[in-house]
Amino acid sequence: MKKNVGTVDRFIRIIMAAVIAILLYSNSVTGTVGLVLLTISAVLLLTSLASGWNLPLLRLLKVRRD
């Protein structure tokens, strides 16, 4: 099965998630914008960590990655 996320892309996603987490932790971003950024950060982190996994959701949607 081919990976859908390259090494550089994974690294960039992790860095972006870390920057967003630092902004949230330092209270530079709060409120609705903070929640939206938190969601984006979680998605970036999960997609970078799950790049090589055969996700059950993909099987349910019958998405082939090969």
Q: For 8-49, what is each residue's pLDDT tens digit?
A: 888 888 898 899 989 989 989 889 999 999 999 888 888 777
Determine, yes or no, domain membership for 44: yes
Q: Which two tokens stand for residue 45?
A: 């982190």
* Count of the separate structural domains present in the chain: 1
Q: Is residue 5's pLDDT more than 60?
A: no
**Residue 14: closest CA among 44, 52, 37:** 44
pLDDT for the residue numbered 1? 47
Determine, yes or no, domain membership for 21: yes
Task: Return the sign of the alpha-carbon dihedral for residues 10, 15, 19, 24.
Answer: positive
Say which residue, 31 or 50, is predicted with more confidence: 31
Q: Of all residues in the chain, what percent are helix, strand and coil, respectively (each to 5)? A: 65, 0, 35
Determine, yes or no, domain membership for 65: no
- DSSP class of 62: T
Which residue segment(s) compose the domain that 31 sits in?
A: 7-60
Q: Which two tokens stand for residue 43?
A: 């998605």
